[in-house]
Each structure stands twice: as C-alpha cells, then as structure tokens.
C-alpha cells in the first residue's frame, strides 16, 4: 500500500498504539496479581482508537464505552493518572471514583465513558444538540461496538441526529464479539452500516486493523461532519484479541478464528510497513518500545505511590 500519510503522523500513531497495548496488558496483569479490579480491554483494536482520534480537532468531544482506554490514551491521557484511576487512587482523572469503566476527562474533551451498553449513543444526541445550539465548530464523536448497535438506542440516536441535523460522527468498532456472544449469534445483518444507512446519513466502512486506512477514513468523515453539520457513520471492522472482561480464558472463542485475527495484528502490520518503507529501523523501533515501556513503568510507580481518597470525599463530585 502506497502511503498518503506523512511519516511523522505514522510514527506518532505507532507510538500511541504501542502505549495503548502496553497499558492494557499492564492493567490485565495487575488484575491477575490482585492489585487492581477487573477491566474490559480492547487489545487488537488499537488502530481504530488511534486512527480516529488522530483525525480529530482539539475542541471535538468524545463519548465512549467500557473499552475506553485506547480512546483516552490516543487523546493524550496520562498513563499515571489512568492507572491511578483504575486503582482507585485520588490522583486519577476522576479522583479514583470511576474505576476503568466510567472515566471522563474534561480537559481532553472526553465527555464520558459508560459501561451501560448503548448509553453513549443516547447521550451523544444531547451533546450533538448542544454543539448545534451553540453554533460550535466542534463535532461530537461517539464510539460504540456492534453489541450496542443491537440496542434500541442505536436507532433512536441515529434517527434524531439525522432529523435534527446534528454534528455527530458515529464510530462503530465492530470487533465481532458482544461480551461472550459472537456477532453472528446476535445480528441478522453482516454490516452495521446497512442499518445506519436507512436513517439516512452518509456511511463508510474501513478495515479497522489498518491504522492508516482508519485515519484517512476518519479524517474524511470528520471533515464532512464539520462542514455539513450533519451526522456520519463509520464502521471499522476489527477483532478483540482478549476476552470480554479480565480475567477471561476465551474458552468460547473459535481457536482458528482467533489465530487468524492475531495474524492481522494492527500494531505488527504498521511496524512491518514502516520498517519496509525505511521510515523505521530496527534500532529506532527498539527505542520506541523502550520509551513506551518506561512510560508505563513510570505511570505505575505514580499510581502505586498515590494516596486513596479521604473518607470525607465519599460524596464529593458525585453530582455536578
């Protein structure tokens, strides 16, 4: 594939993907060691998070779901504050009160993370309406999975966004799994985009394991939403390589299917492409891995050294 993205952007995307992978593997390891609660990872989906977020403007707003770490880190979240939040420490983004499933970071434009399947779709309508009423140049970006697309909120949200002409970019991370149930067991359609097109709004589909393709598709989609002030639907076809919720041995997953998708690992693919193109050398790639590992280690040290919230803060910041 001939690259249309500048090398600086590609390298930044690779580093972000590596950081997300390392962070989520560390979070899962902490859970296995009893140092952190269980969490939902999105290992294997890094190209979607990074490709889409890389295409956004600084004032755009993000709503996401229980697999949110990639979106937050791609947006610039600090690994130390993220790990502190997961571990219930006061230095976390929500002062240790959200855990891994409800992190919001106003300073990053991440309005909310919701573990309620489809909730971000319902709330995106309100955020999009607010942007329209304020005549803002920003857009709202709503990340959700194929499982959420099977909820009634999916159709309600897209219908109102099309009817009211709201500046929302809907991003479906179709990772083939709805908790412990395969997409084929819960969806009659092969593509979520077929449902979205009926509302109507522009729709596109992209290989969610190709970071550069996701970036190009998201940049085009965001530009159209920004100029038209109307919704757009982007479906990224990817695969979740770890289980639904840590710990999870994935006994319900077809071993051949999983192996096939592991062979399409988005990080390995981008690394190989950049090495083949001479953008990366083996030495520079090793330094990149070392920098990411050091960032995770430093973040963990910060989280471990951070205090838990004081008892008198139990009810503070619970309600706005």
pLDDT tens-digit profile of 110-139?
999 998 998 999 999 999 999 999 999 999
Give the pLDDT confidence of 48-65 residue by residue, as tens digits.
Answer: 999 999 999 999 999 999
pLDDT at 100: 85
More confident residue, 306 or 4: 306
pLDDT at 299: 98
Residue with tokens 């394991």: 209
Helix or strand or coil: residue 309?
coil
Report, in angstroms and rounded to the nearest whole number, the Rg of the chain calculated over CA atoms: 19
Is the four-CA dihedral 289, 295, 296, 301 of positive or negative sign?
positive
**Over the chain, what is the mean pLDDT?**
94
- Which homologous superfamily is 30-264 in? Thiamin diphosphate (ThDP)-binding fold, Pyr/PP domains (3.40.50.970)
Whether pLDDT at 86 is above 50: yes
Q: Residue 1: pLDDT band by 50, 70, 90 thresholds?
A: very low
Q: What is d(CA 69, CA 163) in angstroms, rounded to the nearest whole number? A: 32
The answer to whether 198 touches 169, Cβ cutoff 8 Å, is: no
pLDDT at 101: 87
Q: What is d(CA 158, CA 175) in angstroms, rounded to the nearest whole number? A: 20
Task: Show me where the domains of the chain are located.
Answer: 30-264
Percent of the chain whose predicted confidence (pLDDT) is above 70: 99
Q: What is d(CA 315, CA 320) in angstroms, rounded to the nearest whole number? A: 11
Whether pLDDT at 91 is above 70: yes
pLDDT at 3: 57
Whether pLDDT at 166 is above 90: yes
Is the four-CA dihedral 133, 139, 145, 146 of positive or negative sign?
positive
Whether pLDDT at 94 is above 60: yes
Whether pLDDT at 236 is above 80: yes
Distances, alpha carbon 281 to alpha carbons 11, 46, 231, in Å? 12, 22, 41
**Least confident stretch, 1-5, 87-91, 125-129, 291-295:** 1-5
Number of helices followed by number of strands (H, E) in the chain: 12, 8
**Pick from 128, 149, 162: which is nearest to 195 by CA?**
149
Average pLDDT of the segment spanning 214-230: 98
Q: Residue 320: pLDDT band by 50, 70, 90 thresholds?
A: low
């Amino acid at each position: 594939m001939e690259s249309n993205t500048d090398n600086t952007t590609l390298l930044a995307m690779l580093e972000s993907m590596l950081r997300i992978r390392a962070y989520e593997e560390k979070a899962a390891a902490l859970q296995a060691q009893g140092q952190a609660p269980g969490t939902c990872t999105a290992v294997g989906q890094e190209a979607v998070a990074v490709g889409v977020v890389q295409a956004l403007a600084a004032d755009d707003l993000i709503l996401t779901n229980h697999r949110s770490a990639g979106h937050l880190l791609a947006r610039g979240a600090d690994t130390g504050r993220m790990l502190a939040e997961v571990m219930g420490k006061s230095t976390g983004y929500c002062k240790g009160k959200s855990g891994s499933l409800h992190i919001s970071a106003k300073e990053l434009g991440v309005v909310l993370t919701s573990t309620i399947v489809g909730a971000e779709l319902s709330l995106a309508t309100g955020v999009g309406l607010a942007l329209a009423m304020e005549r803002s140049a920003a857009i709202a970006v709503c990340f959700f999975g194929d499982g959420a697309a099977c909820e009634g909120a999916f159709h309600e949200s897209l219908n109102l966004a099309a009817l009211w002409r709201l500046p929302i970019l809907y991003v479906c991370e179709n990772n083939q799994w709805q908790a412990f149930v395969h997409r084929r067991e819960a969806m009659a359609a092969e593509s979520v985009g077929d449902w979205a097109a009926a509302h109507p709004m522009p729709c596109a589909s992209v290989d969610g394991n190709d970071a550069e393709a996701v970036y190009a598709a998201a940049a085009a989609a965001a530009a159209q939403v920004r100029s038209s002030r109307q919704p757009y639907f982007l479906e990224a076809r990817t695969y979740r390589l770890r289980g639904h919720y840590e710990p999870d041995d994935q006994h319900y997953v077809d071993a051949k299917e999983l192996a096939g998708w592991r062979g399409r690992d988005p990080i390995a693919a981008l690394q190989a492409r950049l090495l083949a193109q001479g953008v990366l050398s083996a030495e520079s790639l090793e330094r990149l891995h070392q920098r990411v590992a050091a960032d995770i280690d430093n973040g963990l040290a910060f989280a471990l050294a951070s205090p838990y919230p004081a008892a008198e803060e139990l009810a503070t910041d619970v309600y706005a």
